[in-house]
Amino acid sequence: MVVFYYQKAYSPCDWAMGHLPPPLFDKLLMARRKERADLRWYSTIDLARIISEVGFSCNRCAKCCTRAFNGHVHLLDDDLDRVRGFAPDALEPAFPFDFCDQHGTFYVSGYTIRSQQDGAGSCFFLEDGNCRIYPARPRVCGIYPYMLHREPDEDGIIDWRQISGLNEHGEYHTEISREQALSLARETKQFEEAVLDHAIAFLEYTGDYFSRRGLRHVRKVYDDRLRAYRQGAVLEVLVYHRGRFEPWQVTAGKSVPVQNEYPE
């Protein structure tokens, strides 16, 4: 008999040795796969219509380039490789981290752009209100403020959200051609699907990694290590990128990659 988890085959020997994905990962994977299936069914035409109705136009306020307004920039693998090629010091593990094992090692699904450590958390590449790498900016910056997430509203009702920061920045009700709206809608769906593909790959890999090493996610250890971090402790963080973990050491205000190869 062969059992399939995460589209991988596990034998009866794996069952006997305990080499099966922890239930937490199985549950999260089911949710992400459903989200991806729902996204694929969402009408590109409907999204293009919403984009046309909103008519967003950038007025260079640079709010979207700050963590105070937008949190961290999500980097896909292609984004990461491109930025790493010309500005490796601009990168750091994305926070908050996703998991922490019983030994205190953290695991996170990817990277983000460092902030300038100012009050607003301005992007590393923001200078005098302008992006210094605009032609090579990450994909999420190119489609912003458009998005396609299922999130709860103020009443707790889960529905699609298509615009970030509506009426809080930029200008609205400008004219957008049907062709441009359709192009933006397609790019937005492609980006959101790529994000979910990456999240699923991370969960598959991390679940398998945990099961084969007898690891488990422990919330108390997670919280205890973060408290120590805020008091100056160094955290060991494994960052997922292109099918493997890259090790980092993280302290408050500083993240440093560990140069030696991490055993997979």
Residue with token string 């398998």: 208
Residue range 128-180, pLDDT digits in tens: 989 999 989 999 999 999 999 888 777 777 788 898 888 888 889 999 999 99
191 in the Ramachandran plot: left (φ > 0), alpha (ψ -120 to 50) or beta?
alpha
User: Looking at this protein, which amino acid is placed at residue 126?
Assistant: L
Residue range 60-103, pLDDT digits in tens: 888 889 999 888 888 999 999 999 999 999 999 999 999 999 99
**CA neighbor of 36 nearest in space, from 154, 141, 190:** 190
Per-domain residue ranges of the chain = 20-257
The confidence score (pLDDT) of residue 71 equals: 83
- Under a CB-based contact definition with an 8 Å cutoff, are residues 147 and 161 in contact? yes
Largest CA distance in the chain: 63
Residue range 193-239, pLDDT digits in tens: 999 999 999 999 999 999 999 999 999 999 999 999 999 999 999 99
3-state secondary structure of 109: coil
Structure tokens at 259: 């140069």
Angle (CA) 84-86-187 rounded to 5° is 65
Whether the ω angle into residue 145 lies within 30 degrees of 0, i.e. cis, is yes
The confidence score (pLDDT) of residue 260 equals: 63
Q: Is the overall model pTM greater than 0.75, yes or no?
A: yes
**CA neighbor of 188 nearest in space, from 160, 128, 148:** 148
